[in-house]
Structure 1
Amino acid sequence: MVLGVDMHNRVKNRSLARAVSGTAWREFHSMLEYKAAWYGRTLVAVDRWFPSSKLCSACGTMRAEMPLNVRAWTCDCGQVHDRDVNAARNVLAAGLAES
């Protein structure tokens, strides 16, 4: 519990926030790699800037813009997408394509 409070205060400090958050993500990534290896799986990291929300998972058309307040959208092909479900489908497809 003390560690959690300490980490919370460090993230508030602008000079330490990026380093602390980066370290936490690296640790999380290394744990995922360890677990994947343990179970004989492959961990694939999809590019951070992959446009998963803007890409239609049905036809592959990409929207030019999509503000964060848009939670559902309809593609020109007629497919209606929930932003998060569509992004999850696109990330899965990208990961399977890389492996």
Structure 2
Amino acid sequence: MTGAAVRNNEAEQRYELPVDGDVAIAAYELASDRVVFTHTVVPERLEGQGIGSRLIAAALSDVRKRGLRVVPQCPFVAAYIERHPEERDLLG
């Protein structure tokens, strides 16, 4: 599996993780000082490889660096935060 780093595509309001010609995305909306994650999409052929978790970990790290808060409307992001209590301080 080859892939680039996760990037924040601000124009499209989504974090992107290119892997082997496909792109996993975590879409969001900015609302004041909050990043509202609306949905996550991992291409079917990449499912089960930890791509989604890698994407969300990097996205949350970026949100933290920017001093913003997270609203996890997306069930995948909510489940990730539930499994990683060290990220819960971002909720708000």
TM-score, normalised with respect to structure 1: 0.30
Higher helix share: 1
Which of the two has higher C-alpha Rg?
A: 1
Counting strand residues as a fraction of each chain, which structure ranks higher?
2
* TM-score computed with the length of structure 2 as normaliser: 0.32
